[in-house]
Structures are given as C-alpha cells and as structure tokens.
Amino acid sequence: MKRYVATRLALGLVTLFCVTVLVFVATNMLPGDAATEILGRGATPETLARFREQLGLDDPLVLRYGNWIWGLLHGDLGQSLTTQASINEAIWPRLWNTLRLAGLTALVSVPLAIGLGVLSAAREGSFLDRALAMGALTAISFPEFFTAYLLILVFSVKLNLLPNLSTIFPEMSFLEALRAMVLPVMALSCLVTAHMMRMTRTSILSVMSQPYIEMAFLKGVPRAAVITRHALPNAAAPIIAVVAMNLAYLVVGIVVIEVVFVYPGLGQYMVDAVGKRDIPVVQACGVFFALAFIGLNLISDVLAVLVNPRLRRPGGGR
C-alpha cells in the first residue's frame, strides 16, 4: 500500500510539473499586453518599453519560467502586475471562499446523490426510477449559466426570497453569508448531484448480477437490504471515483458560477486577472486549480484501493 501511494504521489508531482509548464506557456500566449492594459493605449512606445522592462516582460521565456518556479517552490506566488501587491495576500481569502462554497455544495450534493442513486437502483424500472433518470438527464443537459440564471429568475426576481448576487464580506455573519451562498450552491448541486446519482445507480446495478447477490435473493433477503448490505459496498470504488471527480469539479469548475453570482472566489479572481492581462495572478490561480484536481484524484485512488484491495494488483478488479 505504501508503494502504491508513493507511486501515485510521484505521478501526481510529475503531472503538476507538466501543468505548470502548460499554464506558463498558455498564459504568455494570451493576446494583449499587461503594460498596455495598465498604462492605457495613450502611452508612448518609449514609456511602454520602460514599463515592460520594469515588469520583467522582456526577459526570455525560459528565464521567466525558472524565476516563477523558484518562487513557487519557496511559497512566493509573485506580485500582481496591475496592483503591484503580493499575490499571496490576495489569493488566500478568495481560495477560502471557493473552498467554502465547494465544501457546502459537497455537504448537500454527495449524501443526496448517493441516497437518490441507491433509491433509484432499489426501484429499478419503476416510475420513481424513470422520474429520477429524467430529472438527472435534464440537469446534466442544461449549461451551468442557464441553471444559474433560471434560479435567479425564480428565487430572486419572481419570489424575492434570495439575493441575486452572492458578494460576501468578512464582516458578514454566518447566516448572512450562508443566505448569500444558497443560489450558487443550488446551481452547482443540480449538476454534480445528477452525475453522482447516475454513477451510483449504474455501479450498484452492475454488481446485481453477481452470484453472491443472487444467493442473497434466494435466501429471501429484501431487495433494499441486498443493495445496502451487499451491492453498495462492492460498488463503492467507482462511486468514490466519481464523487472525487465531482469534488474536483467543484473546486476547479465553478468559475462560471462565481462570475454569474459575482462571488469573490478564486474563479472570479482569475477571470478579472485575465481581463487585465495580469499573468502572474492567472498563473497562480491555475496552479491552485491543478493542485486541487490532482490532489483529489490521488485521494480517490487511495480510497478506492482501500475499499477494493484487488485494485492494487495489475489488472485488479476485472
């Protein structure tokens, strides 16, 4: 088990290194120029040249990447080009906001998705099963921004129950912040709950034809008990994998939701930086997103092996 974890950790570090290269190259290929965005289009070429030199934008790409990686290894994310402030100080409150939103969504969606998946598998072929499948397919089909605006229309414009913006401040009370996050949590939960519910149902039904399941039925064990006591534990590995993937999505893929609701998270911070061509901020956000995605996948792999030790062997689980 230790060797497996060490191998997965090494692979994750290699993947993270490759991601840093891709992020650095991609951000430097963005159209536009940070110096022009900061000084304005009325700046003279001489002023722009001096400012670019001051910001280090004229240094060779390899040298700039080396300086950036060296700073990352020492915990220094650099300085914002537009504000000249330390990114370390600006990014942590926004990262906390994103993790808080993702965590609250996970607390709602994971138990709900697994419960509905088990219920759908227990009532396979029934009206409830078909209704849940139709609802999940509908939720998956709608784009995130459409779901978000639909929720705003219903709960903010028509019913006037919830705020249409989710701007939160440190001075806000817990209940005020919670109320502001209700709509983003609902928008995110619609999609991830549907994905996890479908995978839970599929994973449970895939093991229902196994001999030990048929033996349990022959002994007269009720279908619900067979599913919860026998099928669900053996279907846990793929369920854990899809839950981890959706949790990674909650951290990485909530940029659209944060922008729609003007939520002060890491995604909103990155979008603002892209508009200002603030490359160091975009790079720092990209590294955090990659680290979260790789870390959650590593955790899911380890949990899957702990649940199903056969996966440790080559070709295990087949």
One-letter amino acid at 5 equals: V
Of the candidates 180, 166, 186, 176, the one whose C-alpha atom is nearest the C-alpha of residue 261 is 166
Q: Is the pTM of this model over 0.75?
A: yes
**Contact in structure between 293 and 251 (CB atoms under 8 Å):** yes
Report the alpha-carbon distance of residue 257 to residue 278 in Å, rounded.
21
| pLDDT at res. 313 | 57
Half-sphere exposure of 214 (CA within 13 A, CB side): 4
Q: Give pLDDT, residue 154.
A: 92
Q: In 10 A of CB 233, how many CB atoms?
A: 12
- Mean pLDDT in each 10-residue stretch from start to end of the chain (318 residues)? 78 87 81 66 72 71 84 84 82 89 90 89 85 89 88 91 85 85 90 87 81 79 77 77 79 83 89 82 87 82 69 51
The CATH number of 95-275, from 1.10.3720.10, 3.40.50.300, 3.40.309.10, 3.40.50.1220, is 1.10.3720.10
pLDDT (0 to 100) of residue 309: 59
- What per-residue confidence (pLDDT) applies to 183? 92
197 touches 188 (CB < 8 A): no
DSSP 89-104: HHHHHHHHHHHHHHHH
What is the model's pLDDT at position 317? 47
Residue whose structure tokens are 């839970």: 200
Q: 97-130 in b/e burial notation, b at 16+ Cβ within 10 A?
A: bbeebbebbbebbbeebbebbbbbbbbeeeeebe
